[in-house]
Structure 1
Amino acid sequence: TGKNGDEHFHVEEHKLNSKVPNHNKIITSLVAGAVAGAVAKTVIAPLDRTKINFQVSNRRFSFKSAFKFIFHTVKHEGFIFLWRGNSATMLRIVPYAAIQYTAHEQYKRMLNRNRRKKHLPPHLRFLAGSLAGITSTSLTYPLDLVRARMAVTEKNLYSNLFQVIMKTYRQEGFRTLWRGYLPTVLGSTMYSGTSFFTYETLKKSHAEYAKGEEPKPFERWCMGAVAGFASQSLSYPLDIVRRRMQTAGCTGHVNDYTGIWVTAISTYREEGIIRGLYKGLSMNWIKGPIAVGVSFTTFDITLQWLRAQTIFHIDEE
């Protein structure tokens, strides 16, 4: 029965996708990816800002100190300030998520060319996710650096993201806009590979167990949350390294954080493994699963709706 369920699930999915022209597949996945990224990041923006502030400093992280930071921000700068940098996040995450999900769909199609109606084997599932992460990171990287800088600076230093780009370019040079790219792309390879691999594997298992029934939104969120937990845990030290390299010009560490290994060793020597390279991971274990769960669920539901509308209009013509 499990195998029949898996086949049934794939036949239904294949029917839906086979009726949609390829250019429509790209457009629908771009739109669904953009919506998924925007919704997920807006939900967890205050936690993201709190996490980044601890990642780039020498302060010890605890939930108590995280709540203190949130309370202090609300009291002195206003509730809405918890979303500071979110405009830069949106400008990055909308194209990033749109490209990532669309690239993943296209890489899956390419890798699956001779395996119609079958799931990709595990190593190709991981490869499709990794390639999607590399593609989206490479095409949107300077916006990630801008967002990190906005999150750790006072509002009077940078009033908007264009000012961040211009000030960084004038004061530190063009190359600085790509500072931290290597740890980011390495982290993204691991993060996206693990994330998509886990989610796709859990969806396959669900199809086998539920005899081909579509997962409910909450089930999708749970599968996404597990994927988020696994991917965050594996790639986290590279996240610390990239944030420190990206914000070195704002935090007075330009000479300390010059490269990936120098930054990692410097962080380890000053703060150790747990308090340095894994600082704030406990908050990420809350933030990550929520965000990834919301993102995958939003993407799947939005994509299905958009493709159903496309088929409806094609059938009408």
Structure 2
Amino acid sequence: MAEKTEKTTTKSIPPSIKALSGSLGGVVEASCLQPIDVIKTRLQLDRTGSYKGIIHCGSTITKSEGVRALWKGLTPFATHLTLKYALRMGSNAVLQSAFKDSQTGNLSHHGRMLSGFGAGVLEALVIVTPFEVVKIRLQQQRGLSPELLKYKGPIHCARMIIREEGLLGLWAGAAPTVMRNGTNQAAMFSAKNAFDGLLWNKHEGDGKALLPWQSMISGFLAGTAGPICTGPFDVVKTRLMAQTRSDGGLKYRGMFHAIRTIYAEEGLRALWKGLLPRLMRIPPGQAIMWTVADQVTGFYERRYINAPSNEIIPLEKKS
């Protein structure tokens, strides 16, 4: 029994490999899904009903600003996703190791959820908030002529925000971002593990490698619950990040004030603005990311954890 316990505790993928798998998945996801993110941001910032829906918003942007406008903010978005997933996957692995039972090496459902929530809070504070502030400021600008745009690019945008609003201006909307990301990751990691086990009987360290289409299904399903639950936090986050002091005063004074104001002025449904494009972006994004990440971690499991040589060579030498 002791031998089995020791074997269980050693069969784990290092946080560095988890971080690498997440960063590679982030690059692929950003390249594929940037236009949907631009449309989501424009819909969330639309207070006058200029856009009639996702297709109308996308076609309006393309006609008035060109196709390239659908990839506005791609540089900070891709960098943000790469760093975010590296931190998310790596920190979640570290936290899961801390929450594992020291005797059996098992991780409880509560431990998995707390690990996901902690990873979400960390990524929100360290990476997500400042990158999304820059991305949203770039995405809300209309037109492509550089001389007509306030922000000329990601670095220029960050400098302008710091100059006009101080360093903390890059952390506008931090509170709803923390709540959104913490809740999202708690649900996502728990759901991904559950779907892998239920659908494919796959458990970490068992040597099985999911096929890409299996990873896509598990990742897609795991990514659906979060946007519905955290819609109000995402809308509030976008509104807080988009407003600037140079506009003549701040309309929203904080997370709770923004929720009350949006509800009073625009109704309850406004707190879920942009939900459909989020559902078009996040579940497919998770499907893409987990497809790449599972292939990386699956290769590591086959090569370094479950390779036959790891079990034979150290124990006995062939004569």
- Match in the other structure for 1:69: 57
- Match in the other structure for 2:136: 148
- Match in the other structure for 2:219: 224
Deviates more, 1:249-258 or 1:122-131: 249-258
Opposite residue 108 of structure 2, the aligned amino acid is P
- Match in the other structure for 1:6: none
- Match in the other structure for 2:316: none
Q: Does 1:163 align with 2:156?
A: yes
Structure 2 unmatched ranges of 5 or more: 314-319
Give the C-alpha shift of residue 250 in structure 1: 8.3
- Match in the other structure for 2:100: 112
Q: 1 CA distance for matches of 2:201 and 2:301?
A: 24
Q: Does 1:280 align with 2:249?
A: no
* Cα contact 2:133–2:241 (8 A) shared by 1: yes
2:287 to 293, 297, 300: 293
Aligned-residue CA RMSD (Å) = 3.1
Q: Does 1:240 align with 2:229?
A: no
Distance 1:293 1:261, change over 3 A: same
Give the C-alpha shift of residue 76 in structure 1: 3.4
- Match in the other structure for 1:46: 35
Q: Does 1:32 align with 2:21?
A: yes
* Cα contact 1:206–1:215 (8 A) shared by 2: no
Q: 2 CA distance for matches of 1:122 and 1:47?
A: 33
Opposite residue 18 of structure 2, the aligned amino acid is S
Q: Does 1:179 align with 2:172?
A: yes
- Match in the other structure for 2:116: 129
Greater RCO, CA 8 A, separation 6+? 1
* Cα contact 2:120–2:182 (8 A) shared by 1: yes
Opposite residue 198 of structure 1, the aligned amino acid is A
Q: 1 CA distance for matches of 2:50 and 2:202?
A: 41
- Match in the other structure for 1:199: 192
Choose 1 or 2 for highest CA Rg.
2
Q: 2 CA distance for matches of 1:248 and 1:257?
A: 8
Query: TM-score by structure 2 length?
Result: 0.83
Q: 1:16-37: per-residue Cα shift (whole Å, max 9, x none)?
A: 64xx7xxxx2332222111112
Query: TM-score by structure 1 length?
Result: 0.84
* Cα contact 1:61–1:279 (8 A) shared by 2: no
* Cα contact 1:125–1:200 (8 A) shared by 2: no
Superposition map of 1:72-87 within 5 A: 72-87=60-75
Identical counterparts, % of pairs = 20
Q: 2 CA distance for matches of 1:222 and 1:309?
A: 25
How many pairs align? 298
Distance 1:192 1:246, change over 3 A: same
Give the C-alpha shift of residue 80 in structure 1: 2.5
Secondary structure at the counterpart of residue 128 of structure 1? helix
Opposite residue 188 of structure 2, the aligned amino acid is S
Structure 1 unmatched ranges of 5 or more: 1-9
- Name the one with the larger helix percent: 1
Q: 2 CA distance for matches of 1:254 and 1:116?
A: 57
